Amino acid sequence: MTYYAYGEITLKHQDWIEEYLGKINQFIKKHRGTVLSRTTRMEKIEGARVLPTNVILVEFPDRSSAVSFFEDPDYQPLRQLRLDGATSEFTLFPSEDLIETGTQ
């Protein structure tokens, strides 16, 4: 089943961005991921919380591929760059519709 990784990133500083963006796609592709959206252009249509500065949505063919991406030992130094330079929240979820599956 297809899985999505959704990330919200709020920058602390920009010193890390060039190095991170220059390398991140190779790790996403290594784990068979596809970037569906990576943007700073968001607009709130409901709710009161403050929006992050960046969002990313990556599609993976299955949960295992998504977890392997986040746990890849070669990715960890790059991940640490992001963790040091931004506040991040990532969520992993399957491609399903609870109405269609009858699951709640």
Distance CA 54, CA 52 (A): 6
The amino acid at 52: P
Percent of all residues in the chain with a pLDDT value above 70, rounded to a whole number? 98
Task: Over range 55-79, report the average pLDDT.
Answer: 98
Distance CA 41, CA 36 (A): 14
Q: What was the pLDDT predicted at 101?
A: 72
CATH of the domain at 8: 3.30.70.100
Residue 103 lies in a domain: no
Task: Over range 67-81, report the average pLDDT.
Answer: 97
CA 82, distance to chain mean position in Å, is 11
Q: Domain containing 87: what range? A: 3-42+50-97
Question: The whole model's pTM is what?
Answer: 0.91
| Cβ-contact 51, 87 below 8 angstroms | no
Predicted confidence (pLDDT) at residue 57 exceeds the cutoff of 80:
yes
| Side-by-side strand order, sheet with 34-39 | 34-39, 54-60, 3-11, 86-94
Predicted confidence (pLDDT) at residue 34 exceeds the cutoff of 70:
yes
Task: Over range 11-28, report the average pLDDT.
Answer: 96
Look at the chain and report how many structural domains it folds into.
Answer: 1
